[in-house]
Amino acid sequence: MNIEELFAKEARFFMAVDKNMPILIVDDYKTMLRIIRNLLTQLGFTNIDEASDGTQAWQKLQEKKFSLIISDWNMEPMSGYVLLQKVRESEQFKALPFILVTAESKPENVIAAKKAGVNNYIVKPFNLETLKTKMAAVIGAF
């Protein structure tokens, strides 16, 4: 990490987070999408879009600029893990903050996600405070 990247990373924690930043949430269960949307709304975020799997999320990324992705891991036909890999391989999206959500806390999954470039990892079930803490670590305190 060079000095510019270090300062940019540190500056995130001192800048106000835009509560209208576009967030893409990805999950194949409508109930989980509704839960995450409600939690984000409680945190004050207003610009939330949804996708039901990685394929649909990838399509939405081509159509709109997002500031954060919160994606489930296990989905068909494209998992959140594969979506993460595609995002990190893309020159256009490789720096896009990405949080993976999963019911599995296997160490090998956490390691694989970190190697693939995930910014943070949330294990289900989770609450408002957990989401806020994980997001703050990625986009800065709010």
- CATH of residue 107's domain is 3.40.50.2300
- Tell me whether residue 13 is in a domain: no
Burial of 68 (0-12, 13-18, 19+ CB in 10 A): buried
pLDDT at 5 over 90: no
- DSSP 8-state assignment for residue 16: P
- Tell me whether residue 14 is in a domain: no
What per-residue confidence (pLDDT) applies to 141? 87
* Cβ proximity of 59 and 32 under 8 Å: no
Residues 1, 31: Cα–Cα separation, whole Å: 40
CB atoms within 10 A of CB 24: 23
Give pTM, 2 decimals: 0.88
Residues 81, 99: Cα–Cα separation, whole Å: 10
What per-residue confidence (pLDDT) applies to 75? 96
Side by side, the strands of the sheet bearing 23-26 are 48-51, 23-26, 68-72, 98-102, 120-123
- Tell me whether residue 25 is in a domain: yes
How many domains does the chain contain in total? 1
- Tell me whether residue 12 is in a domain: no
| Mean pLDDT along residues 76-97 | 97
What per-residue confidence (pLDDT) applies to 66? 98
| Mean pLDDT along residues 81-97 | 97
In percent, how much of the chain has pLDDT > 90? 83
- Tell me whether residue 50 is in a domain: yes
| Mean pLDDT along residues 49-54 | 98
- Tell me whether residue 55 is in a domain: yes
61: which residues sit within 8 A by CB, 6+ positions away? 24, 87, 93
